[in-house]
Amino acid sequence: MAGLSLLHDQPNYRHSRPTKVVEYMAHGVPVITTPTPLAADMVEQHGCGLVVPYEDPRAAAEAIRRLGDDAILRHTAAQRGREAALTHFNWPDKAAEFTQWLETWVREDAGTRRAGDAARTRRPRLRPATGSPSPGPRPRSGRVG
């Protein structure tokens, strides 16, 4: 009936896009989320569900009831979410752009290292699991597309 993403107001959630929200949308499931910025923006912009206040179980329960009782709202939100996921968050459509961003970050990171103090040497950053160099700096906003 609805996919829930009821995160707390924590700093580590403010710049992330919950994967589960995009997955609910892709599967045509209406979303109920708390107002973490990127999740709330997606739900409100695409009209694919409802946003409820943080730490408010009554509001979450009411949103579930509302979607359960209102077939038109439920089906409209589901359809809009699916369309938005396919249009804006579809990996095959965004892979080339994402790869270009990664390559840009690697080039920028390499340029920063070359431009640094020549007397100071840096060791390459390593990934713990593989020992291969990291892809460079991470995006600041978490927005992809």
Tokens matching residue 132: 């291969």
Query: Which pLDDT does position 138 carry in this prediction?
Result: 44
Segments of the chain scoring below 50 in pLDDT: 117-119, 123, 126-145
Q: Residue 33: beta bridge partners?
A: 5, 51
pLDDT at 22: 96
Q: CA-CA distance, 63 to 120, in Å (whole number)?
A: 57
* pLDDT value of position 69: 97
- Location of structure tokens 């209406």: 30
**Confidence at residue 74, expressed as pLDDT on a 0 to 100 scale:** 98
Outline where DSSP puts E strands in the chain. 3-5, 31-33, 49-51
Summarize pLDDT for 56-71 with one digit per residue, the tens: 999 999 999 999 999 9
Indicate the pTM of the whole model: 0.67
